[in-house]
Amino acid sequence: SFQAHQKMTKKIHATVPPAIARSDFARDFLWGCSTSSYQIEGGAAEGGRVESIWDRFCERPGAIRDGSSGAVACDHYHRWPEDLDIGRDLGLNAYRFSVARPRIIKGPGARPNPQGLAFYSRLVDGMLERGLEPWLTLYHWDLPQYLQDQGGWNERATAYAFADFADAVSAHLGDRVKHWITHNEPWCTAIHGHFEGVHAPGIQDFRTALQVSHHVLLSHGLALPAIRANVPDAQVGIALSLHPLTAASGKPEDIAACARHDGLRNRWFLDPLHGRGYPADILDLCAADAPVVLPGDLDAIAAPTDFLGVNYYFPEIIEHAPGAAPLEARVVPREGVPRTAFGWEVSPEGLGALIRRIEADYDPGPIYITENGSTWEDTVGDDGEIDDRERRDYLASHLAALRDTIAGGSRVKGYFAWSLLDNFEWAEGYLRRFGLTHVDFETQQRRLKGSGKWYRAFLKQEEDAQ
Residues noted as catalytic: 185, 371
Q: What is the CA radius of gyration of the chain?
A: 21
- Applying the rule CB under 6 A, the residues between 128 and 187 that interact with ligand FCB are 184-185
**In this complex, which beta carbon is closest to ligand FCB, that of residue 259 or of residue 399?**
399
CA distance from start to end of the chain: 48
**In this complex, which beta carbon is closest to ligand FCB, that of residue 31 or of residue 418?**
418
**In this complex, which beta carbon is closest to ligand FCB, that of residue 70 or of residue 291?**
70
**In this complex, which beta carbon is closest to ligand FCB, that of residue 25 or of residue 424?**
424
Nearest distance, CB of residue 157 and ligand FCB, angstroms: 25
- Applying the rule CB under 6 A, the residues between 223 and 252 that interact with ligand FCB are 241
**In this complex, which beta carbon is closest to ligand FCB, that of residue 120 or of residue 344?**
344
**In this complex, which beta carbon is closest to ligand FCB, that of residue 152 or of residue 429?**
429
Rounded-to-integer distance, Cα 172 and Cα 121, Å: 8
- Total chain residues near ligand FCB (CB under 6 A): 12
| Site membership for ligand FCB, residue 97 (CB under 6 A) | no
Nearest distance, CB of residue 461 and ligand FCB, angstroms: 27
Alpha-carbon distance values, 268 to 6, 156, 173, 183 (Å): 28, 19, 32, 15
Greatest distance between any 2 Cα atoms in the chain = 63
Candidates 220, 116, 229, 136; CA nearest to 176 is: 136
| Site membership for ligand FCB, residue 54 (CB under 6 A) | no
**In this complex, which beta carbon is closest to ligand FCB, that of residue 70 or of residue 174?**
70
Rounded-to-integer distance, Cα 247 and Cα 316, Å: 9
Among the residue ranges 325-333, 386-394, 418-426, 454-462, the one whose residues contact ligand FCB (CB under 6 A): 418-426
Nearest distance, CB of residue 422 and ligand FCB, angstroms: 11
Nearest distance, CB of residue 296 and ligand FCB, angstroms: 29
Nearest distance, CB of residue 344 and ligand FCB, angstroms: 9
Alpha-carbon distance values, 41 to 193, 248, 306, 336, 367 (Å): 21, 41, 29, 38, 28
Phi, psi of 302 (to 5 degrees): -90, 10
Rounded-to-integer distance, Cα 68 and Cα 151, Å: 25
| Site membership for ligand FCB, residue 370 (CB under 6 A) | no
| Site membership for ligand FCB, residue 36 (CB under 6 A) | yes
Burial (CB < 10 A; 0-12, 13-18, 19+), residue 453, is middle
Nearest distance, CB of residue 374 and ligand FCB, angstroms: 9
One DSSP character per residue, 415-455 reads: EEEE-SB----GGGTTS----SEEEETTTTEEEE-HHHHHH
Do 355 and 405 contact (CB within 8 A), yes or no? Answer: yes
Using omega within 30 degrees of 0 as the cis cutoff, is the peptide bond preceding 102 cis?
no
| Site membership for ligand FCB, residue 371 (CB under 6 A) | yes
Site mask for ligand FCB (CB under 6 A), range 280-319, x = bound:
-------------------------------x--------
Site mask for ligand FCB (CB under 6 A), range 421-450, x = bound:
----xx-------x----------------
Do 91 and 453 contact (CB within 8 A), yes or no? Answer: no
H/E segment holding residue 371: strand 367-371
Nearest distance, CB of residue 220 and ligand FCB, angstroms: 16
Amino acid identity, position 202? G
Contacts with 58 (C-beta within 8 Å, 6 or more apart), sequence order: 64, 68, 69, 70, 71
For ligand FCB, the binding residue among 120, 278, 314, 418 (CB under 6 A) is: 418
Nearest distance, CB of residue 311 and ligand FCB, angstroms: 6
**In this complex, which beta carbon is closest to ligand FCB, that of residue 394 or of residue 426?**
426
Residues at the site binding ligand FCB, with contacts judged by CB under 6 A: 36, 39, 184-185, 188, 241, 311, 371, 418, 425-426, 434
